[in-house]
């Protein structure tokens, strides 16, 4: 579906090598079909050589489709060079096919959007441009959708942290796309059911079985924390009422998901 486009100027640090970086003006906007060659070139340059445990590349047909009314591509330009692309599937048929591929329930209201790839040129990493481009896409999606769904590889820690900082929470962890382990995360673009963060379980990110056990009990992962023993995911109870087993915890108000 078409969205009104605007251009936004943002200033990013460009890594020049040799320990140097330079602050440069960049432009963020919705990309159009005429930007297909730049989109393909950026995608292939960044995705080349990545393992399926980290990232599964998109084919040219999908990259083109993100530039049509079936999707959204948020692009960031430095001069005439595309340095970031964030994509979302919005077309009902495409979203349904994507949900079916990961065995998620179909949305009869067609109010769910599914994210695609997000890639950033090496010279512009570290600018939180993924974060900035996400909130532009969310601002557009909120006009027509109430849920955004995404998948992230557990080994892709940077992307997982970025997605969870944007307000997504983990609802599943299983093999997808032919045997690659992936988190499934959602974000509600409306007032949702609260997470009871006082009564959380801190589970090592490497302990897949324990995380799957927490998810099967109706808990959701809402935060990554760094501890002396490594990375942990905090899993909390999802529901209007607090968890039944809370004898060893001191309650405080829950956070309410958006």
- What does the pLDDT look like over 139-152, one tens digit per residue? 999 999 999 999 99
How many other C-beta atoms are found inside a 10 Å radius of the C-beta of residue 185? 25
Strand order in the sheet with 112-120: 8-17, 20-30, 71-78, 81-89, 112-120, 147-152, 180-188, 169-176, 219-227, 230-238, 194-204, 255-256
- Is 174 in a helix, a strand, or coil? strand
pLDDT tens digits in sequence order for the chain, 258 residues long: 567 778 999 999 999 988 899 999 999 999 999 999 999 999 999 887 676 677 788 999 999 999 999 999 999 999 999 999 999 999 999 999 999 999 999 999 999 999 999 999 999 998 999 999 999 999 999 999 999 999 999 999 989 999 999 999 999 999 998 889 999 999 999 877 888 888 788 999 999 999 999 999 989 999 999 888 889 999 998 888 877 766 444 444 455 544
For residue 245, what pLDDT is reported?
Answer: 66
User: How far, in Å, CA of 257 to CA of 190, rounded?
Assistant: 8
**pTM (two decimals):** 0.89
For residue 196, what pLDDT is reported?
Answer: 85
User: How far, in Å, CA of 247 to CA of 233, rounded?
Assistant: 21
Provide the angle, in degrees to the nearest 10, between the axes of the packed helices 157-165 and 129-141: 50
For residue 1, what pLDDT is reported?
Answer: 55
For residue 249, what pLDDT is reported?
Answer: 45
Phi, psi of 97 (to 5 degrees): -65, -40
Count Cα neighbours of 173 within 13 Å in the Cβ-side half-sphere.
24
For residue 243, what pLDDT is reported?
Answer: 79
For residue 258, what pLDDT is reported?
Answer: 42
């Amino acid at each position: 579906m078409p969205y009104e486009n605007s251009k936004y100027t943002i200033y990013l640090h460009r890594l020049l090598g040799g320990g140097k970086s330079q602050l440069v003006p960049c432009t963020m906007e919705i990309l159009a079909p005429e930007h297909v060659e730049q989109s393909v070139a950026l995608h292939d340059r960044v995705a080349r050589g990545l393992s399926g445990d980290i990232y599964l590349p998109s084919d040219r047909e999908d990259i083109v489709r993100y530039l049509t009314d079936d999707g959204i591509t948020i692009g960031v330009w430095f001069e005439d060079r595309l340095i970031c692309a964030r994509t979302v599937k919005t077309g009902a048929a495409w979203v349904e096919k994507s949900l079916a591929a990961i065995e998620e329930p179909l949305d009869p209201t067609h109010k769910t959007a599914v994210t695609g790839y997000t890639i950033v040129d090496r010279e512009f990493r570290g600018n939180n441009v993924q974060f900035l481009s996400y909130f532009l896409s969310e601002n557009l999606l909120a006009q027509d959708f109430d849920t955004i769904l995404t998948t992230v590889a557990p080994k892709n820690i940077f992307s997982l942290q970025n997605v969870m900082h944007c307000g997504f929470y983990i609802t599943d962890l299983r093999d997808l796309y032919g045997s690659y382990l992936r988190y499934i995360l959602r974000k509600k673009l409306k007032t949702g059911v609260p997470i009871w963060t006082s009564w959380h379980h801190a589970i090592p990110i490497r302990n897949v079985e324990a995380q799957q056990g927490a998810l099967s009990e109706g808990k959701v992962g809402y935060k990554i924390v760094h501890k002396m023993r490594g990375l942990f995911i905090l899993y909390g109870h999802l529901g209007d009422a607090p968890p039944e087993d809370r004898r060893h915890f001191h309650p405080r108000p829950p956070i309410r998901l958006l």
